[in-house]
Amino acid sequence: METAAIDQVREIGETLAQANAELTYDGTVQVVDIVLLDVGTATSDEALEVAHNRLLQQGWRDRGTGPNLIQMTSPRWEQVALSIGPISRLRSLKMQLDSKTEQMLRSGSSRINDFVVIDLSTTDLKSVVSQIADG
């Protein structure tokens, strides 16, 4: 994953947690970095809008939207796909959280719904090229 892309995402708010994973499917490795951010808003809808606008200001472009999900790309990091979603996305992403973050989420604080989850993913092309060469 492009460290500069992750750093740019972290600039749009206060990073509360970060994790990464390598997912393998059909012999392809997908690298996913997940960042939980507080962008200083009062509602989940506001948080999505603020995060989206801040990323647009940094040069990210819209790729698509869905219910509570905004997908973006960057001309600077063409191989990186980015998604912005509400805190509820954490469970679907199966993110391993540190104990402090888990405790915060379990506390039931209404404030946690004001955070956004941003995941960045890229495919490890080296593994694809290696498979083609081997196969």
Look at residue 134 and tell me if it is in a domain: no
Number of domains the chain is built from: 1
Question: Could you tell me which residues come within 8 angstroms of residue 24 by beta carbon, excluding any fewer than 6 positions away?
Answer: 30
**pLDDT computed for residue 30 by the predictor:** 78
Look at residue 51 and tell me if it is in a domain: yes
19-36 pLDDT per residue, tens: 887 777 777 777 888 898
Mean pLDDT of 102-107: 73
Look at residue 98 and tell me if it is in a domain: yes
Look at residue 70 and tell me if it is in a domain: yes
As beta bridge partners, residue 94 has none
Q: Give the DSSP letter string of the chain.
A: --HHHHHHHHTTSEEEEEEEEEEEETTEEEEEEEEEEE-S-SSHHHHHHHHHHHHHHTT-EEEEEETTEEEEE-SSSTT-EEEEEETTHHHHHT----HHHHHHHHTT-GGGGGEEEEEEEEE-HHHHHHHHHH-
CATH number at residue 112: 3.30.980
**pLDDT computed for residue 102 by the predictor:** 73
Asked whether the predicted pLDDT for residue 130 surpasses 60, the reply is: no
Structure tokens at 92: 């679907």
* Owning domain of residue 75: 3-129
Mean pLDDT of 93-121: 75
**Which has the higher per-residue pLDDT, 11 or 21?**
11
pTM: 0.80
Average pLDDT, the chain: 81
Under the banding of pLDDT at 50, 70 and 90, the label for residue 131 is very low
Look at residue 42 and tell me if it is in a domain: yes
**pLDDT computed for residue 132 by the predictor:** 40
Structure tokens at 71: 């997908």
Look at residue 106 and tell me if it is in a domain: yes
Mean pLDDT of 83-92: 81
Look at residue 135 and tell me if it is in a domain: no
Structure tokens at 75: 């001309």
For residue 33, which phi and psi values (nearest 5 degrees)? -115, 135
